[in-house]
Structure 1
Amino acid sequence: MKLPSLPKLAMGLLLGLAVPAAAWAADDYPSRPIRLVVPFPAGSTTDVMARFLGERVGRTLGQTFIVENKAGAQGSIAAADVSRAAPDGYTLLVGTNSTQSANVHLFKSLPYDPTRDFAAITQFTTNPLVLVIRPDLPPKDLPGFLDYVRQRPGELNYGTGNSGSLAAVQMLKEQAGIDALDVPYAGTPQAMNDLLAGRLDFMITDISVTRPHIEAGKLRPLGVTPPEPSPALPGVPPLAQAGLPGYDFVAWGGLFAPAGTDAAIIDKLNQAFVQALRSDEAAAFFDKQGLQPTPRTPQDFSRYVAEQTELWGRLLSAAGQAKQ
């Protein structure tokens, strides 16, 4: 009997071992803590969401999720960091409409490619926003506020800590025909501090950030951005019903891994996070935050992000936001 040559025998053994090795890697995952990179500051809606889910999924997978905040440049700093990480499932991005869909239209040059450099895992939530003003301003409702701003073109200012706030106010300005000064921040918490201190006049931002201050009488809500009311803010009408017909806007967030991450690891993460998102505990938590859990398969989430990237291009173009 003729025996195979040594090189062919060695190659056969290597090929035979390749698939089991990949399977072992996925089966063993995770064997150490997982770094969860958040593109906005501590205390932001994205940060709070990441910490809540990371803690619960950590219990399921038997490993700690270490949340790391890397704010700045509309989330580009964090996204670029994760895009360069090893595709082993131990560095993940809590991406948003800013990092994955808006930035490609906002910046002439990005240090990452939102499509090429990432693998979608699952969407976390859709995020309605709310228009709030300082309570010492005279207007009591949206029509009164819009008239107030029109009578003072360029005099009032507003804060933006992410592209969601930016696009939402630009849509408001475009549809209402008002002029106000944008004051950009590295994140929403810093902008909110200045609004509460009276250094800003209004914002459109996350319900979870504003609700405690609304309830305390420190901010006056004038309307939410989706076309239907938010259960988190009973009595606050949609902007579309309060005086801006057709106004419709939501932000979103989800989880991404560096491109090239093993599909079995992606699936394991998807199953663990979807399980957490569908729990009663998550439903109660996100309802309090004013967010809507929206778990998806990796394939469905990838399609959604592509659709959103096209949508955000139209939104930002209509709002007059040229690439910087």
Structure 2
Amino acid sequence: MTIPRFLPRWLLALLLGCAATLAAADYPDKPVKLIVSLPPGSGADTTARFLARHLSEKFGQPFLVDNRPGADSFIAARAVAASPPDGYTLFVASNSPMVTNVAVFRQLPYDAVKDFQPLARIARFPMVLVVPANSPFKTLQDLVAAARQAPGKLNFGSGTATYRVALELLHERNQIKATAVPYRGTSAAMTDLAGGNIDYTMAEVSAVMPLVRGGRVRALAVAAGERIKELPEVPTVSESGTAGYESYAWTGVFFPANVPPPVLARMSQAIKELMEGDDAKAFIAAQGGTVFYGAPQPFAEFQRAEIERARRVVRSANIGYED
């Protein structure tokens, strides 16, 4: 579009707005990349592939999943933040890079708020408190009583910073102390738990179910508002004496900051329609979660509130910032 020089500002703004709207009408007209900070098979990865398949069908363009795991999600988040804000790069992320990292790390190579445009909150997955199969603890109340009797004696594993914060919040609510054992990933923490090397841990439902079904770990409580179909006999944390406690892993989609509003609106509407459909509800339910859709502005507000909550827990538990 050629724009003559010396146009009045109001007319120039109008013309540029029209140009952006016309460009958005053809968007996307080339492949779109969905960057994921976790490896294939993870919750964020399977969600990204579900989105990619359905958005490809809707728009007639390839939506390609690009896994960039490692470095506490720094690699993927930094790649998205540095991408052109043209709508052709999406970040399918969990709360770890977009919330917990902000609270836990002293310095980040990206700004989780300023460098991104929230596009759509997608789903959430309840966390489950688990112990080794041969643990003496049969209920959450048993574990809490033991921790109160010998502060710091019990140890707990945390596969990610998000799970560490969730557990520290549980400790705070019950006024107990335990010794943290950090792991480089949820799989490592679950393996050590099954081997009896730690006393308990917490992870989202899809990560714990294979070991629960295999009889290698026991679920004590579900950190959801109500019992879940995967573990109908397991009480919620609230039912187990910690009223109102809930912790979830969630996934959402982000653009780099400063994406043109018409592009944001077009993709936002497409994802909204998808997440309100039966296919999305069935897919998320099969992963042990529920659709938790949120439009751009409510999602941005939710992210900020989650960051403040995580910061408060980090300060209260004196977790300490990592470099």
Given the two structures, how large is their TM-score scaled by the length of structure 1? 0.86
Residue 173 (structure 1) shift: 3.2
Helix, strand or coil for the counterpart of 1:42? coil
Counterpart position of 2:178: 179
Separation (CA, whole Å) in 2 of partners of 1:322 and 1:149: 22
Separation (CA, whole Å) in 2 of partners of 1:272 and 1:189: 34
2:126 to 98, 110, 128: 128
1:67-82 equivalences under 5 Å are 67-82=65-80
Tell whether 2:190 aligns with 1:192: yes
Amino acid aligned to 1:180: T
1:137-156 equivalences under 5 Å are 137-147=135-145
Amino acid aligned to 1:272: A
Deviations 1:252-307 (A, max 9, x none): 22111011111111112111212221111221221222212121221121122122
Alpha carbons of structure 1 residues 27 and 161: separation in structure 2 relative to 1, 3 Å:
farther
1:294 to 281, 289, 292: 292
Residue 323 (structure 1) shift: 2.2
2:92 to 68, 91, 94: 94
Separation (CA, whole Å) in 1 of partners of 2:285 and 2:207: 13
2:214 to 210, 216, 219: 216
Helix, strand or coil for the counterpart of 1:43? coil
Counterpart position of 2:264: 266
Percent of pairs identical after alignment? 35
Counterpart position of 1:63: 61
Amino acid aligned to 2:67: N
Please say which of residues 104-113 and 140-149 is displaced more in the overlay: 140-149
Does structure 1 conserve the Cα–Cα contact (< 8 Å) formed by 2:48 and 2:92? Answer: yes
Deviations 1:28-64 (A, max 9, x none): 2112222111122322222222222222222112222
Separation (CA, whole Å) in 1 of partners of 2:195 and 2:66: 28
Residue 200 (structure 1) shift: 4.6
Amino acid aligned to 1:122: A
Alpha carbons of structure 1 residues 147 and 30: separation in structure 2 relative to 1, 3 Å:
same
Counterpart position of 2:321: 323
Gaps of 5+ in 2: none
Does structure 1 conserve the Cα–Cα contact (< 8 Å) formed by 2:34 and 2:64? Answer: yes
Separation (CA, whole Å) in 2 of partners of 1:291 and 1:191: 21
Alpha carbons of structure 1 residues 65 and 193: separation in structure 2 relative to 1, 3 Å:
farther
Tell whether 2:215 aligns with 1:206: no
CA RMSD of aligned residues (A): 2.7
1:106-121 equivalences under 5 Å are 106-121=104-119
Residue 154 (structure 1) shift: 5.4
Helix, strand or coil for the counterpart of 1:222? strand
Deviations 1:176-209 (A, max 9, x none): 4142332221x32343344445555432011122
Separation (CA, whole Å) in 2 of partners of 1:314 and 1:181: 18
Does structure 2 conserve the Cα–Cα contact (< 8 Å) formed by 1:155 and 1:181? Answer: no
Does structure 1 conserve the Cα–Cα contact (< 8 Å) formed by 2:158 and 2:180? Answer: no
Helix, strand or coil for the counterpart of 1:294? strand
Separation (CA, whole Å) in 2 of partners of 1:218 and 1:307: 36
Helix, strand or coil for the counterpart of 1:233? coil
Residue 85 (structure 1) shift: 0.7
Amino acid aligned to 2:182: V
Separation (CA, whole Å) in 2 of partners of 1:25 and 1:164: 39
Amino acid aligned to 1:305: Q
Residue 165 (structure 1) shift: 0.9
Helix, strand or coil for the counterpart of 1:129? strand
Residue 151 (structure 1) shift: 6.8
